[in-house]
Structures are given as C-alpha cells and as structure tokens.
Structure 1
Amino acid sequence: RVQALRVARPPRAVASPTLARQAQLPSTSSSVPQRAFSSSPVPRRAVASTLSGFSNVYDDRDERVVRMLMFGKPGAGKGTLSARLTKKYDILSISTGDLLRQHINEGTAIGKQAEAIIARGELVPDEVMLKVVTGKLDSLQNKHWILDGFPRTLNQGLLLDAHLKKQNTPLTLVVNLNVPDEVILSRITDRWIHTPSGRVYNTSYNPPRIAGIDDVTGDALTKRPDDNPEIFGRRLEAFYKSTSPLLNHYTTQATTPITSPINNPHQHPHQVLLHRPAKLSLRSITGRTSDEIWPELDYIIMSMFPSLRKRSD
C-alpha cells in the first residue's frame, strides 16, 4: 500500500525560488545598472506604471535621447565641435542667439519685448530668455539636441532644469571643454572670420588658401571686435564668475544617486530595483585643439547613445 505524498506549494507571492532570491537582493553599488526582475518578461512601461507610487524611479528610455549642454571658455571650440556632432549624427544644434533674432525679425510678442529691452541697452531677463529657449525645445521632445548659449548663469540653469523636468525631458549630458587659457588667447589672436557665412579660419592651424580671403566666396575676412587680449581677459573673468556655480550645480546632479524603494516589505518582486546613479552625466574633456577633443567627445556620444542614428554622407 503506497501512501500518497503531499508536496507543499510555494506561496503565491513568489513564483519560483529564483525569483524569491532576486526579491531578497540587497542594495548594490551604483555601478550596477538598474533592472526590474521578473520570472517572465514584463514591459518597462508596465513596470514604471506599477511603480508610480514611488518617486525618483529611473526609466532608462530617457538615456537614449541626447539633451545636451556644452560649456567652454570663449574660443574653446564649442561651435566647431557642435557642428561636427550635427554633421555626423541626427542631432539638432539650438542657438539661443539665433532663436532670439528670429523672434525679433518675425515681430513676435517675445521678439518685441526683447527688442525694446535691447534698445534700452539692458540685458534680456532670464524669464524672457527661458521662453525663447523652451518654446523651441518643447517642440523637440523626441529629438536629439545640443543647446548653445543658454544657460549662462546658475539662475538660468535652475529655471531650465525646472521646465525640462516638468516636461519630463531632463538633460542627459553636460560636456565641459577644458582648454588652457594661453591656448585660447593665441587662438583668438590668430582668428579670422567670414561674417556672412560664419566660417572661421585660424592662421596657425586652419588658414585660408589666400591670406585674408574666404575660400568659398573670395570675400575679405574680418576680425571680431572682441578678439584682442584685453577684451578676452574680461570675457574670461566673466566666464569663470558665471559658469563655475553652474558647473558645480550640474556636478552635484550628476553624482547624486537616485534612491530606490528596495526595502519596502510590501513590495512586489516586479518592483525590485537595483541602485542606480542619477540620469545626468557630466564629462570634462581636456585638449588644446578641437581635433584633440573631438575623438573623446565622439566616443562619449557613441557609448552613451548607441541607438543614435548617423547621418548618411
């Protein structure tokens, strides 16, 4: 006579021993990517929905969108490097100055307000500049972009951050170009420009084919009024004064970890998240020329945004 054996079923809350072990994982170091564990595939959107009761839950879909600021001293090569990125990748370069001029030329409400302020010899207030910038960025929520010329101060940075977070489109990358002062001084001293097109030449490393003449049009090249050592010194001092607090602000954001609700006793296994650093990445690149800086900048973009589409030649 064979006696039937009863096999105890595991509790319903735990689908398998493997899942049970995953549910008891301790918090790990910030170098481990954040993932949601499950015995069966669960869409990230569903996991995010399940976790809606918790704040600061990381969603790595945001990392696939380039929302970038590039900082650097006057003459550090921001324009040159931005142009290379937009030529190689499906990224838009948003110039704050161009946007403001467009508003003024089109006679929009913001343009009329800014034009009157400029006519009085005053600086355009941060709140007005924010409207100029965000009016464009809000139309690019699913696009990759680099913002040029804004923010320049800590207050502008705080205003921009608040707006982008409200739109659920926070910054993903801040790049600081570290070029020695003496290199930039030499660079601006030797710099010549073709004003109508914006083409820039340098007699030291990128000279025109004929001295003083634009390669494309044959027009005469000119010097910028502020391309002299005295004015450069004042611009450099102003840069350090305004930009240092702003960089410190983004450095803090980039190193502050997001807290995961991993120790909640009522948490479903699908809600188990590993510790993850903040979304924003801040990178500093040191070099003497744009050609030196470019390979590292290009590598950062490729490694952080592997799905970013390259433009066809």
Structure 2
Amino acid sequence: MLNLVLFGPPGAGKGTQSQHLIEKYGLIHLSTGDLLRNEILQGTELGLEAKKLMDAGMLVPDEVVIGMISNKLDANRDAEGFIFDGFPRTVAQAEALDSLLKSKDSAITVMIALEVNDDELEHRLLLRGKGSGRPDDANPEVIRRRIKEYNDKTAPVAGFYKAQNKFTSISGIGSIHDIFDSISAVIADKA
C-alpha cells in the first residue's frame, strides 16, 4: 500500500499534483478539509462534534480529525493507498497518524515536500485568487501570513519524517509534467 504525505506551503501545487497521483496510482485523496465537510454533511457523530466546535470558532481537536481519517481508511480497505493532504500539520498529528496506521498494519511510505520560494508562492496564489474567488488568495498580506504560518508551524513535521528516512524534497518549480515525473521517481525509489 502506498501512503503518501504530499507536503508544501499554500500554492506549492499539491492539489494539481494530487490529481495526477490519483490517476496514475489509484490512490484515495484524504483532504482533512473535505473529510470535515463530508462528516458534517452526513451528520455523523464526529461531524456534529466538529461542527459544534467550528461554529464556536474553535479548532477541531486532533482526536476528532484522526477519527475521521480512521473512518475513511476503514471505508476504503481495498484502496491502493492514500494521499494525505493538509494532514499532518504538527509533529503531534504525525505521531497520531503513525499510531493509527500502525493499528491498521500500515504506515506512511513517503513524505514528498514541494519546495517553492515565498515570492513564487505569493505570485501563484494571487493568480489563483483572480479566478477562484477565495479571499485568502487575493490579499498579499493574508498570503504572507499563511506562508509564515506554514514555515513556523507545519514545516517542522518534515523533521519527523526525516528521522524515519521517509522525507524527500523536490522542486515545485517547473512544468507540471516535470514535477510529476520527479514525484513519480521518488515513489518508485521508496515504494
């Protein structure tokens, strides 16, 4: 089973590359944002708990998100593997994910980080913001804050996977095809 953490700051190209990975490897895309919305829509116990917290302006605790991931893994037992997108964002989440996967006789195969400099990220997000209607992609100040948040809080997760020899960094600058070829080469080496 191929379990991939696709990592990188906002605008690095994770969404674009995820689509290619799904097509080539038959992976299930696990976006924590999508999971939250789906659980809420279905009115599950976890979804109702998450909605109550979100409506109060609070973050959804890791245990709730891990529960949702567990449900998704259980619902797709015959999957070729999973792409984890937007999770883990902290070392504590990475540890919890490892424990969850171990309990299901699985593990993260590789974390691939798309490296893109801050100026390019800002440029990409502003371009995306023109067509997406997302206010967080249209304001340079908000974009810089999101990138800083990633660098300060999320980037340390890379060290967790480096310690397990599961981390690989590739350039997220270039053609979509070339970047995908680099990702595929990493997967061929690690899987």
**Normalising by structure 1, what TM-score?**
0.57
2:155 corresponds in structure 1 to: 244
More helix by share: 2
Alignment: residue pair count: 188
Aligned counterpart, 2:15: 79
Aligned amino acid, residue 282 of structure 1: F
Structure 1 Cα separation of the partners of residues 155 and 31 of structure 2: 21
How far 1:126 sits from its partner (Å)?
0.9
2:67 equivalent to 1:104: no
Aligned partner (choices 165, 177, 181) of residue 295 of structure 1: 181
Gap regions ≥5 residues in structure 1: 1-64, 194-220, 255-280, 306-313
Matches within 5 A, 1:259-274: none
1:253 aligns with 2:164: yes
Match in the other structure for 2:118 = 181
1:283 equivalenced with 2:151 (yes/no) = no
In the alignment, which of 124, 136, 143 is matched to residue 226 of structure 1?
136
**Could you tell me how far apart the structure 2 residues matched to 1:171 and 1:141 are?**
15
Match for residue 140 of structure 1?
Answer: 76
Asked if the contact 1:175/1:282 (under 8 Å) is kept, the reply is yes
Q: 1:290 to 1:111 in 2, by over 3 A?
A: farther
Q: Does the Cα contact within 8 Å between 1:141 and 1:169 map onto a contact in 2?
A: no
1:158-169 mapped onto 2 (5 Å cutoff): 158-169=95-106
Unaligned segments of structure 2, at least 5 residues: none
Contact 1:154 1:242 in 2 (8 A): no
1:153 aligns with 2:90: yes
Kept after mapping to 1: 8 A contact 2:158/2:167: no
Larger Cα-atom Rg: 1
The residue number in structure 2 matching 1:43 is none
Aligned identity (percent) is 38
Distance in 2 between residues matched to 1:69 and 1:155, nearest whole Å: 15
What's 1:273 paired with?
none
TM-score (norm 2): 0.91
Structure-1 separation of matches of 2:5 and 2:188: 16
Which amino acid is the alignment partner of residue 234 of structure 1?
R
Structure 2 contact 4–82 (Cα < 8 Å) conserved: yes
